[in-house]
Amino acid sequence: MKLTDIINAKNVAEGSKRTYLSILKRVDADGFKIPTGKSEMINRISDYIGNLEKTSQKLDVLNIIITIRNELDVTSDKIKELRDTFRKKRVSDNVEVMNELKPKLMSLSEFDDKLQTMFDNKEYANFVVNYLFRHFGVRNKDIDVTILNRKKDMDDGNYLWIRPKSITYLRKDYKTKSSYGEKKYEITDKQFRVAVRKLGQGPILKTGLLTNVLKKVIIAKESDVFKMLIDDAYSREDWEEIKRLSQSRGTNIKTIAENYHVNADGKDKI
């Protein structure tokens, strides 16, 4: 069986499959053959990833090797040990980057002021997008929503469903849905309800490449907004809020501690 067939047969999100296949293509272009037999060939793997510049690239390769070997039911103990080594290095690298980011991070109050200005200026689409970032800590893809009056008009996308006393935020298409399932929230905030009703039915963002469209809409990058939310909750020692954000974004606490915690020192955990 071809390695691409193994990946295509996996029960994972299509985005994850595309990522796996992209890594496979890159590895193949480098002339590296992924070991699929009983021997882990750890020295050959070490030599190959030693030529890769970034820790993230090394982890990508190790993850794809382990994934394929798991599907073939062959052990990868030594490869997993090597992966753990680079995971620790990534955490250390991230701590340094996040500590440098903290002084540049927007405060929650500043964000809220900008959000209120959007509503006051009747920039309703911008307000709705940034409100979802602010209150749910979601990713870019998750705020590409369509406003509807009727539930029966929905398929597998992301929606804002206008109800008599609330707006239902439904996420059926997001990065970690296979792990966290469909997300549903009832939003009763008066300004949010007004903004959604003013926009009316249909997509709230213009067509085009999402990242380009969002550049004209967002107050701050979604990853920075999430760091801001985690920083605020951490400063207040509000662990329940961090758990809530973990669930609403669809990201586990360990990932948050390693990638979004700007007060991290490499030892403390959220």
**Residues 128, 46 within the same domain:** no
Together in a domain, 119 and 224: yes
> Measured between alpha carbons, how far apart are the two ends of the chain, in Å?
43
Cα separation, 66 vs 72, in Å, equals 10
Same domain assignment for residues 125 and 89: no
Three-class secondary structure assignment of 21-83 = HHHHHHHHHCCCCCCCCCCCCHHHHHHHHCCCCCHHHHHHHHHHHHHHHHHCCCCCHHHHHHH
Phi-psi sector, 200: left (phi>0), alpha (psi -120 to 50), beta: left
Find the helix or strand (DSSP H, E) in which 147 lies: strand 146-148
* Residues 6+ positions from 67 with CB-CB distance below 8 Å: 7, 10, 20
Pair (151, 246) in one structural domain: yes
pLDDT confidence of residue 186: 97
| Alpha-helix residue ranges (DSSP H) falling in the chain | 3-8, 14-29, 42-49, 55-71, 77-101, 108-120, 124-136, 177-180, 190-199, 210-215, 222-235, 239-249, 253-259
Asked if the structure places residue 269 within a domain, the reply is no
Q: What is the mean pLDDT of each run of 10 residues along the chain (270 residues)?
A: 86 82 93 93 94 91 94 94 89 66 80 97 97 96 94 90 96 90 96 97 86 90 92 88 94 84 56
Residue 149 placed within a domain = yes
For residue 216, give the 3-state DSSP assignment: coil
Residue 237: what pLDDT? 87
The predicted structure's pLDDT at residue 14: 80
Residue with tokens 């309800």: 193
| Cα–Cα distance list, 126 to 112, 148, 182, 184 (Å) | 13, 18, 24, 21
In a domain, 267, yes or no: no
Say whether both 120 and 244 belong to one domain. yes
Phi, psi at 136, each rounded to 5°:
-125, -10
Residue 248 lies in a domain: yes
Is 266 part of a structural domain of the chain? no
Cα atoms in the 13 Å half-sphere on the side-chain side of 87:
11
Does 265 map to a domain? no
63 and 116 inside one domain: no
Answer yes or no: do 88 and 113 share one domain.
no
Contact assessment for residue 27 and residue 64, using Cβ atoms and an 8 Å cutoff = yes
Same domain assignment for residues 14 and 117? no
Same domain, 149 and 83: no
Nearest to 65, CA basis, from 20, 106, 108: 20
Measuring CA to CA, which residue among 10, 145, 137, 15 is closest to residue 67? 10
User: Is there a domain that residue 270 lies in?
Assistant: no
Domain limits for position 118? 108-259
**Number of domains composing the chain:** 2
**184 and 151, same structural domain?**
yes
Which pLDDT score, from 0 to 100, does residue 29 have? 93
Same domain for 65 and 118?
no
